């Protein structure tokens, strides 16, 4: 629409003569996007999308006409944008009574949407229903969840890994394998594209989003002992650090799908190009012809978008190479292709810094740093946190976005939303587990204090916008995981965890309110509420909290964490004293479940035995 309509002089004249035109960046203003997507859904009784076109009454900002994409001229049974502009202008001028009637209908619906009936209790058997629903939507042939376009849906996969048993974990493993072998994964440069237009993960929409790739690392972390998944995780993390990071350490928002005016052009090849780069007759070329899709017909606009048509071991057998040699040849060949691709015109990178998306990337990098024992990824995560603290946290207020200026300076924009506070708090909690830092511990406490002061609405859960922000026509609250997690659910989960870590009873009580407020959504769409269900589970049955001190604390944590993935382990420096553990200089550990603590345990074997007993008791 930007090229077809907004740059069309005749259409622009109609727009400027009859309307006040406002273009909104939905990533910087998710509050507006949520409100008007809801309006679209109410008017059309189906999901919305982007671009979203909304015509509002200027007096109250309530819409009376909504649409998604509108062509510049009539086609495919759709009216042209100029016709829509004329019709909407006439309708607003001559049928104001109808406009007011529609507005009143919206107000009535808004009142119903804003009222919530909090659950007095919750039944965790719903977790089994959520798993059953997710498995029912799982695509056993291609992985992921049925239908096209096919999105990664990482939180449904996290649900299956968490509580899906062997069947659920097999579904996650198969889904991730198909994703990273497919064209939805950048085989040459790393990183996951936004979605696949087909159910086979072959041809993507060639946009890369920060919010997809952070959670992908979290999903890959528990599988990092398997070479294929470790290789994919390194490719994603290396791409983030190489192409998505500012010199100061924060992460850009997204990479566009287009370059030189064509979608995907940057990522496409011809066999002749690859033969020239790798050398005609080379073993590398022979291997890639079998491994990627070069021995198949072109699959995107006359060119080849690379994806694995067979596992590398099968391609190695086809060309007579031992697997270890084939892996070396493949990596070297992809490195040469990547260097050649670097000479092309890059797609546009959206260089704004979004607090919530950076927090998701920080968590993912810390998860994979731990799983791969790669400290560089963890250090990169901490640098991103430093950027947020220095640039986007001011006077006990968090901002949602950092916008760069042409001279290289920048400024924070927009009061932080619930997602910014909640996702950042979760990332800080994860960072403390990776490496304790007193300043970050104090910052986490400040973030949660401000979250409650700005967003808490008691039995209704947490509002999406800061209560000091100008009111919108609808007060949004998010309990269902979408392309990003539900802010209410992440807030509840982190308040629970931090409430136990710092022994703050008010946080533990506050964590229950969004769970109760959102339980109706969990009953309606259980497989889409992983974070809410996990919060309810941890409120009901807190996982073991292990606080380790002394000269061997880091070694103990490094050894014990893989053995006890459900435990929350923190290695505390000698001077740190928490309510659950007094400061100690000798090797010592305290284990707490809720308010009940045992210890101190003086040796690693003692602590291991205690954790085994807890695990056995939980299974019983």
Q: What is the pLDDT of residues 15-29, one digit of tens each?
A: 999 999 999 999 999
CB-CB contact of 137 with 145 (8 Å): yes
Do domains 2-114 and 542-620 share one topology? The answer is: yes
SS3 string, 152-169, reads: CCHHHHHHHHHHCHHHHH
**101 has a pLDDT exceeding 80:** yes
CB-CB contact of 479 with 529 (8 Å): yes
Map residue 426 onto helix, strand or coil. Answer: helix
Give the side-chain half-sphere CA count within 13 A for 269: 27
**219 has a pLDDT exceeding 90:** yes
- Which of 392, 427, 577 shows the shortest CA–CA distance to 498? 427
Average pLDDT, the chain: 95
- Percent of the chain at pLDDT > 70 equals 100
**Which residues lie closer than 8 Å to 248 by C-beta, 6 or more apart?**
383, 387, 391
H-run or E-run covering 61: none
> What CATH architecture is 542-620?
3-Layer(aba) Sandwich (3.40)
Cα(238)–Cα(579) distance, rounded to whole angstroms? 39
Q: What is the pLDDT of residue 113?
A: 81
Query: What are the C-alpha distances in Å from 131 to residues 399, 551, 576?
Result: 36, 42, 40
Within 244-300, residue ranges assigned H as helices are: 271-278, 283-291
Within 209-257, residue ranges assigned H as helices are: 210-220, 227-243
**617 has a pLDDT exceeding 80:** no
**620 has a pLDDT exceeding 60:** no
The residue-averaged pLDDT of 526-538 equals 98
The residue-averaged pLDDT of 478-500 equals 97
Q: What is the pTM of this model?
A: 0.95
Query: What are the C-alpha distances in Å from 296 to residues 80, 200, 320, 321?
Result: 40, 15, 20, 21
Cα(153)–Cα(533) distance, rounded to whole angstroms? 16
CATH topology of domain 2-114: Glutaredoxin (3.40.30)
The residue-averaged pLDDT of 152-159 equals 97
**508 has a pLDDT exceeding 90:** yes
Q: What is the pLDDT of residues 334-389, one digit of tens each?
A: 999 999 999 999 999 999 999 999 999 999 999 999 999 999 999 999 999 999 99
Domain residue spans of the chain: 2-114, 127-350, 542-620
Q: What is the pLDDT of residues 294-309, one digit of tens each?
A: 989 999 999 999 999 9
Q: What is the pLDDT of residue 114?
A: 81
Buried b (16+ CB within 10 A) or exposed e, 215-234: bbbbbbbbbbeeebbbbbbb
CB-CB contact of 493 with 531 (8 Å): yes
User: Which residues partner with 350 through β-bridges?
Assistant: 254
- Which of 616, 610, 617 shows the shortest CA–CA distance to 548? 610
Q: What is the pLDDT of residue 77?
A: 87
Cis peptide preceding 600, ω within 30 of 0? yes
User: CB count, 10 Å around CB of 524?
Assistant: 11
Which phi-psi region, left, alpha or beta, contains residue 500 (left: φ > 0; alpha: ψ -120 to 50)? alpha
**203 has a pLDDT exceeding 60:** yes
The residue-averaged pLDDT of 435-454 equals 97
Angle at 121 between CA 120 and CA 124, to 5 degrees: 155
Lowest mean pLDDT among 56-65, 108-117, 134-143: 108-117
**Number of residues that make up the chain:** 620
The residue-averaged pLDDT of 130-134 equals 98
H-run or E-run covering 22: none
The residue-averaged pLDDT of 71-87 equals 92
Angle at 596 between CA 609 and CA 429, to 5 degrees: 85
Instruction: Give the pairing of strands 588-593 and 545-549.
Output: antiparallel
Q: What is the pLDDT of residue 619?
A: 64
H-run or E-run covering 310: none
- Percent of the chain at pLDDT > 90 equals 89
Which DSSP letter does residue 389 get?
Answer: I
Q: What is the pLDDT of residue 519?
A: 96
Query: What are the C-alpha distances in Å from 535 to residues 135, 268, 462, 486, 514?
Result: 21, 43, 14, 11, 10
Q: What is the pLDDT of residue 361?
A: 98
Cα(119)–Cα(517) distance, rounded to whole angstroms? 7
Cα(516)–Cα(157) distance, rounded to whole angstroms? 24
- Which of 565, 545, 435 shows the shortest CA–CA distance to 499? 545
**Which residues lie closer than 8 Å to 185 by C-beta, 6 or more apart?**
179, 191, 192, 193, 201, 232, 235, 307
Q: Give 2's pLDDT tier (boundaries 50, 70, 90).
A: confident
Which DSSP letter does residue 390 get?
Answer: I
Cα(529)–Cα(66) distance, rounded to whole angstroms? 28
- Which of 417, 414, 410, 364 shows the shortest CA–CA distance to 387? 410
Buried b (16+ CB within 10 A) or exposed e, 555-579: ebbeebbeebeebbbbbbeeebebe
The residue-averaged pLDDT of 228-256 equals 97
Q: What is the pLDDT of residue 112?
A: 84
User: CB count, 10 Å around CB of 90?
Assistant: 11
């Amino acid at each position: 629409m930007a090229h077809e309509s907004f740059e069309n002089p005749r259409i622009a004249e109609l727009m400027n003569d009859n309307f006040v035109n406002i273009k909104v960046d939905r990533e910087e203003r998710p509050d507006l996007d949520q409100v008007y997507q809801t309006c679209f859904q109410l008017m059309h009784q189906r999901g919305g999308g982007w671009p979203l076109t909304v015509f509002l009454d200027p007096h109250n900002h309530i819409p009376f006409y909504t649409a998604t994409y509108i062509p510049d001229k009539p086609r495919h049974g759709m009216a042209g944008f100029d016709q829509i502009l004329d019709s909407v202008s006439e309708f607003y001028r001559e049928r104001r009574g109808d406009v007011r009637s529609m507005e009143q209908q919206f107000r009535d619906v808004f009142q119903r949407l804003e009222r919530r009936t909090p659950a007095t209790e919750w039944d965790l058997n719903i977790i089994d229903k959520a798993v059953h629903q997710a498995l029912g939507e799982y695509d056993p042939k291609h992985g992921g969840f049925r239908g096209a376009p096919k999105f990664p849906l990482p939180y449904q996969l996290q649900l299956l890994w968490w509580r899906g048993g062997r069947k659920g974990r097999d579904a996650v493993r198969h889904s991730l394998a198909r994703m990273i072998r497919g064209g939805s994964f950048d085989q040459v440069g790393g990183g996951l594209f936004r979605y696949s237009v087909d159910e086979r993960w072959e041809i993507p929409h060639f946009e890369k989003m920060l919010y997809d790739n952070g959670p992908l690392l979290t999903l890959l972390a528990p599988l990092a002992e398997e070479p294929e998944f470790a290789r994919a995780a390194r490719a994603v993390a290396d791409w983030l650090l190489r192409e998505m990071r500012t010199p100061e350490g924060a992460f850009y928002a997204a990479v566009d799908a287009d370059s030189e005016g064509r979608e995907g052009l940057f990522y496409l090849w011809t066999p002749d190009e690859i033969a020239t780069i790798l050398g005609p007759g080379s073993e590398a070329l022979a291997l890639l012809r079998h491994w990627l899709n070069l021995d198949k017909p072109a699959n995107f606009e006359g060119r080849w978008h690379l994806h694995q048509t067979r596992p590398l071991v099968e391609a190695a057998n086809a060309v007579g190479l031992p697997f270890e040699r084939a892996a070396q040849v493949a990596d070297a060949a992809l490195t040469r292709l990547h260097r050649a691709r670097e000479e092309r015109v890059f797609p546009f990178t959206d260089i704004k810094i979004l607090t919530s998306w950076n927090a998701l990337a920080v968590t993912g990098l810390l998860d994979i740093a731990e799983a791969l024992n790669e400290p560089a990824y963890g250090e990169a995560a901490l640098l991103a946190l430093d950027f947020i603290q220095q640039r986007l946290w001011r006077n006990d207020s968090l901002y949602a976005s950092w916008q760069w200026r042409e001279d290289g300076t920048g400024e924070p924009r927009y009061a932080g939303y619930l997602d910014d506070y909640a996702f950042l708090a979760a990332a800080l909690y994860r960072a403390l587990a990776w490496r304790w830092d007193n300043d970050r511990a104090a910052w986490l406490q400040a973030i949660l204090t401000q979250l409650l002061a700005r967003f808490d609405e008691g039995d209704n859960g947490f509002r999406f916008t800061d209560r000091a922000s100008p009111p919108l026509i609808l007060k949004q609250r998010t309990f269902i995981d979408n392309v990003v997690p539900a802010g209410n659910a992440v807030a509840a989960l982190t308040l629970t965890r931090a409430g136990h870590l710092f022994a703050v009873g008010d946080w533990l009580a506050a964590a229950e309110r969004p769970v109760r407020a959102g339980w109706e959504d969990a009953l309606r769409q259980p497989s889409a509420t992983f974070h809410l269900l996990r919060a309810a589970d941890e409120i009901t049955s807190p996982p073991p909290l292990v606080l380790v001190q002394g000269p061997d604390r880091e070694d103990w944590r490094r050894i014990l964490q893989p053995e006890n993935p459900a435990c929350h382990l923190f290695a505390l420096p000698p001077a740190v004293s928490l309510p659950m553990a007094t400061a100690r200089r000798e090797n010592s550990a305290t284990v707490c479940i809720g308010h009940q603590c045992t210890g101190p345990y003086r040796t690693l074997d003692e602590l291991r035995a205690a954790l085994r007993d807890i695990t056995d008791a939980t299974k019983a």
